[in-house]
Amino acid sequence: MAKLDVRTLREEAGVYQWNDIRERYTKSDLFLGNGFSIKISNKLNYTSLFSKFIELIPAADRAIFNQFGTTNFELILETINNAIKVNEIFNIAHPQLISSVDRLKNGLIEAINQNHPKHAEIENNIFDKLSISLDDFEDVFTTNYDTFLYRIVMRTKDRYSGGEKIQPYQDYFWLRVGEYLKFMDTQSDTTYKNFYFLHGALFIFQTESGNFKIRRGDQEAELLDLVNAKIGVGEFPLFVAEGTFQDKENKINRNGYLSFCRTNFKNASRNLVIYGSSLSDQDTHFINDLNYNRRNLAIGVYCEERTVEQLRSLRHGILSKFNRLKNEEIVFFDSDGLF
């Protein structure tokens, strides 16, 4: 099915082109979901990740997905955690269920790591282009786990160091500790805009001494190789992979870095552009934050192979989630035009 023309998208589906609203949302904050990663490499779409994930986990865990007839990782985690809660009510031991949850989380981390394209596989100029695109925005919040944004943040710093008149990004990992950079919850240098990894990332690790990010080191160093080395010795990245949004919230609240990011997202006041996120029920914690602190939203929607009726239904479903915002405070745009 051909993509709807610009006039039909705007007048019948209520979806604008990015250039039509760009001036209104210049210097907004940006929220990036998995669609941003897929834009760079389709190896990171959920179907590819799930295929790799299923290969990695034991047969007993695969059987759970087969039994429920789903590829929804978060739904299965939610189901197992509900079984654990029921067992606790009846005082039934459940070590196998707890072990299964751990295997599923670690399996997904390994699947992302193994499926993640190497830096050399991505066109050399794509990180430059995306870095330049971010110049129009202020703070960036993301739920993505991959290493692409690490590269983009570093590219903005390289451009700034090279003399470009831009404002680079920092992510609050700035205290050098050996091979790591340690998270610090303050940054007094107003040179920078801020990046927040709301659900952790492959390159962030939690220890008893705090939260740390792998330091890039050599410009040519392959970040995934450094991540692989950590996973190989049993150290796993800080990664929110819980099933329900309540479980996600519990994980976030237990970690200093994640709760810091969440607080900054909740209290931000600028306009917000949302790209690459389906705003599903598993994102309810962030939807609640946006309802808590009202601000104008520009929400990108994927328009390929969708009819006017489908896009109208999609808009209605999203609008119903933002019950404290007026309809005029939310605008929808064709996500294909942003990056």
Other beta carbons within 10 Å of 235 = 12
CA distance 14 to 324: 20
- pLDDT tens string 194-238: 999 999 999 999 988 999 999 876 555 688 888 888 887 777 789
Q: Are 229 and 202 in contact (CB under 8 A)?
A: no
- pLDDT tens string 254-264: 999 999 999 99
- pLDDT tens string 271-330: 999 999 999 888 999 999 999 888 999 999 999 989 999 999 999 999 999 988 887 899
Task: List the helix and strand counts (H, then E) for the chain.
Answer: 14, 12
Beta bridge partners of 224: none
Pair of tokens at residue 165 = 């008149």
Tokens 């282009």 locate to 129
Pair of tokens at residue 300 = 């990108």
Other beta carbons within 10 Å of 122 = 14
- For residue 96, name the pLDDT band (cuts at 50, 70, 90): very high
Q: In angstroms, what is the C-alpha Rg of the chain?
A: 20
Between CA 84 and CA 286, with CA 240 as vertex, the angle to 5 degrees is 105
By the 10 Å C-beta count (0-12 exposed, 13-18 middle, 19+ buried), 325 is classed as middle
Is the pTM for the entire model greater than 0.85? yes
